[in-house]
Amino acid sequence: MKLNEWFCTLLTACPVAGLLLLAIPAQAAAQAPRTPVIISTDIGDDIDDTWALTLALRCPELDIKLVLGDYGNPLPRARLIAKILEAAHRSDIPVGVGVGAESNAVHRQSKWIEGYDLGRYPGTVYRDGVKALIDIVMSSKEPVTLICIGPLPNIAEALRREPRIAQKARFVGMQGSVRLGYGKNSKPAAEWNVRANPAACRAALTAPWDITITPLDTCGLIQLKGENYTRVRDCADPAVKTLIENYRVWAEFNAAKSGKAASTITASTTLFDCVAVHLAYSTRFLRMKRMGVRVTDDGFTVADPKAPKVNCAVAWKDLGGFEDFLVRRLTR
C-alpha cells in the first residue's frame, strides 16, 4: 500500500490519529531552534533596510535580540527603528542607539517619525547600543549572528572594546562587489557599505569569526515588480503596511530633493539587504564560495587568495525562487 493510501485509510479508520500525525510537522516547526540575531542597520538612508527589517520580523527562524542604528545619525535612526517595531507590535525587541555624535539630523524617512519620542517606546532602549551588543553576545549560551546591513562603525567599535565577541558570534553582511557592480555592471564597484568606512569594514572582515557576505553580485539583482510588488503593497498586515508607508515617504523625499513630482510607485527599489537577512539562517537559493576578500582604502572588495576567507554569495541558484519566497514571507 502506498503512503498516501495508508494515510487515507488511517483517517477513515481513526480520524483523531490522522489529525495528530498532521499536527506533528507544524509542532516540530514551532519548536525548531531559532537563531539569535542582532541587526545593525543604517536605516533611514536607502529604503531597503526597512524592507530587510520587516522581512526579519516575518522570519520565525530568527530570534531578534536587538536592532541598532549604525553609521552616525544615532537618535533619528533609533527613533525610526522604535516606531517601526512598535507599529509592527514587536516592542518586545530592544532598540540600540549606535555610535556617533548625538543629533536630530533629517533622513529620508524623517517625516514618518515626526513627533515620535524615543522615550515613548514601550520596550527597552539601550542608549549605548554597542555595549548592549557586546553584553548580549558575551552572555549568550549559543553563537549570536550579527546581521550587518550598513557601514560598520558599530561593529568596529564593538571589536575594539571587546575582541572576544569574535569567538562567540558570526558575521552576516551586505557588503562589497566582487565580479559585478551596481545594475549588473560587469565592472566591480566600490559598494556603499564598504566605501563609507573602509577601515570599519576591514576590521569586521578580518576578525576571527565566521563571515558570510552577499555582495552586489547577488544582492544587487533583487527587485519586486508587477504582481509580486502589488501583493506586498496591498497586504493588510501592520508590519507590511508600515513598510509601504515608509516607502512612500522615502520616495516623496527623493522626489522633492530632485525637484520632481512624486511618481506612482509600481515596483520596489533594489532590495540589497533582504539577502543578508535570509543568509542569517539559510543559503538555499544561493551559490556560495569560500574565498579571500581584501578591503582596499578606496572601498573596493578584491578577491585575494592571501586575504582572510569569507563565505561569499557569488551567484544565484534560484533568483525567482528567492523573490517568491520574499513575497510569501511578507504577505503570509
Q: Tell me if 159 is assigned to some domain.
A: yes
Question: What average pLDDT is seen over the chain?
Answer: 92
Q: What is the pLDDT of residue 142?
A: 97
Is residue 286 classed as helix, strand or coil in its secondary structure?
strand
Report the distance separating Cα 213 and Cα 204, nearest Å.
Answer: 11
Q: Which CATH number does the domain housing residue 216 bear?
A: 3.90.245.10
Of 136, 141, 162, which Cα lies nearest the Cα of 39? 136
Q: What is the pLDDT of residue 274?
A: 98
Report the distance separating Cα 249 and Cα 71, nearest Å.
Answer: 21
Report the distance separating Cα 223 and Cα 221, nearest Å.
Answer: 7
As for how many domains the chain has, the answer is: 1
Q: Tell me if 146 is assigned to some domain.
A: yes
Q: Tell me if 16 is assigned to some domain.
A: no
Average pLDDT over residues 280-298: 98
Q: What is the pLDDT of residue 282?
A: 98
Q: Tell me if 274 is assigned to some domain.
A: yes
Q: Tell me if 155 is assigned to some domain.
A: yes
Share of the chain above pLDDT 70, in %: 91
Instruction: Give counts: helices (H), strands (E), the chain.
Output: 13, 10
Of 178, 194, 189, 151, which Cα lies nearest the Cα of 287? 178
Average pLDDT over residues 132-141: 98
* Full domain range(s) for residue 194: 33-331
pLDDT: which is higher, 18 or 196: 196
CA 219 and chain centroid, separation: 11
Q: How many CA atoms lie within 13 A of 243 on its CB side?
A: 27
Q: Tell me if 8 is assigned to some domain.
A: no
What does the block give as the cell for 95? 532598540
Q: Tell me if 88 is assigned to some domain.
A: yes
pLDDT tens for 82-120 read 999 999 999 999 999 999 877 777 899 999 999 999 999
Q: What number of other Cβ atoms are within 10 A of residue 261's Cβ?
A: 8
- Distances in Å between the alpha carbon of 102 and those of 122, 137, 302, 307, 315? 22, 25, 34, 36, 40
Strands 144-149 and 169-173: parallel
Q: What is this structure's pTM?
A: 0.90
What does the block give as the cell for 40? 545593525
Q: Tell me if 206 is assigned to some domain.
A: yes
